[in-house]
C-alpha cells in the first residue's frame, strides 16, 4: 500500500468526529470489557487503583457518545470534546503510572491499598486483615510472561497513546474548522 494513501486515511480518521467518537467509545468499551473478563472469568480481583483506572474509560465512552450526538453542533464542539477526552486519557495514564509505582514498590500506595501492617497484637493484626480489601495495590496479580509488564504498566502506555491521539485529533479538527 502506498504511504500517501495510509497518511491520507489516518488524517481522514483523525479529522472526522464521527470516526473519532466511534473509536473512542469502542476502544474504551473494549478496555472495560477486558478488565471485567480479567476479573470475572480469570479471577484477577481488582485493587482500588485498578477500579480507579476504570472510571476514565467510562467517562471516555460517554464523551465518545456525546461527540456522536453533537455532530451537528460543528467541528469546534467536536474538537472541545476531543480535548476533554485527551485529558481524561492522560489522567488515566497518571493513575496507572502511580499504580505501577506502587506495584514496583517505588513508593507507597493509598492507605489500605497495600499489605496490612504487621505490628501490634495478634488481635489487631487479625482485625486489619479482616477489614482489608482482597486485592492489594502493591502486588502484581498478572505479569506478561515475556516482558514482565503488569496490566497497570500497559495501561500507562495505552492511555498515554490514546491521549496523544485525541489531542492530535482535536488540533486537526480545529484546523479543519478554520479552513487549513
pLDDT in tens, 4-47: 999 899 888 998 999 999 999 999 999 999 999 999 999 998 99
Helix (H), strand (E) counts: the chain: 6, 0
Averaged pLDDT for residues 67-82:
94
pLDDT at 73 over 70: yes
Q: How confident is the model at residue 136 (pLDDT cuts 50, 70, 90)?
A: confident
CB 88 within 8 A of CB 63: yes
Helical residues (DSSP H) of 104-148, grouped into ranges:
122-131
Note the pLDDT of residue 92.
98
Using CA atoms, how far residue 119 sits from 10, 82, 92, 128, in Å, is: 57, 49, 34, 10
Averaged pLDDT for residues 109-129:
69
pTM comes to 0.86
Note the pLDDT of residue 117.
59
Q: How confident is the model at residue 2 (pLDDT cuts 50, 70, 90)?
A: confident
Please check whether the domain covering 3-177 is classified as CATH 1.10.357.10. no
pLDDT at 133 over 60: no
Averaged pLDDT for residues 59-81:
95
Pull the grid cell for residue 134: 482482597
Note the pLDDT of residue 114.
61
Amino acid at each position: 500500500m502506498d504511504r500517501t494513501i495510509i497518511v491520507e486515511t489516518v488524517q481522514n480518521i483523525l479529522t472526522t468526529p464521527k470516526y473519532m467518537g466511534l473509536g473512542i467509545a469502542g476502544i474504551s468499551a473494549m478496555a472495560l470489557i477486558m478488565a471485567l473478563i480479567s476479573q470475572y472469568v480469570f479471577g484477577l480481583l481488582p485493587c482500588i487503583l485498578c477500579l480507579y483506572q476504570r472510571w476514565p474509560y467510562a467517562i471516555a465512552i460517554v464523551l465518545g457518545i456525546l461527540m456522536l450526538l453533537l455532530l451537528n453542533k460543528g467541528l469546534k464542539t467536536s474538537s472541545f470534546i476531543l480535548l476533554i477526552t485527551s485529558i481524561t486519557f492522560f489522567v488515566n495514564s497518571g493513575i496507572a503510572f502511580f499504580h505501577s509505582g506502587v506495584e514496583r514498590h517505588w513508593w507507597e500506595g493509598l492507605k489500605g491499598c497495600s499489605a496490612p501492617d504487621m505490628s501490634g497484637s495478634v488481635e489487631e493484626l487479625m482485625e486489619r486483615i479482616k477489614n482489608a480489601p482482597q486485592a492489594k495495590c502493591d502486588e502484581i496479580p498478572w505479569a506478561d510472561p515475556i516482558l514482565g509488564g503488569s496490566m497497570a504498566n500497559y495501561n500507562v502506555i495505552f492511555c498515554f497513546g490514546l491521549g496523544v491521539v485525541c489531542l492530535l485529533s482535536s488540533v486537526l479538527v480545529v484546523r479543519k474548522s478554520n479552513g487549513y
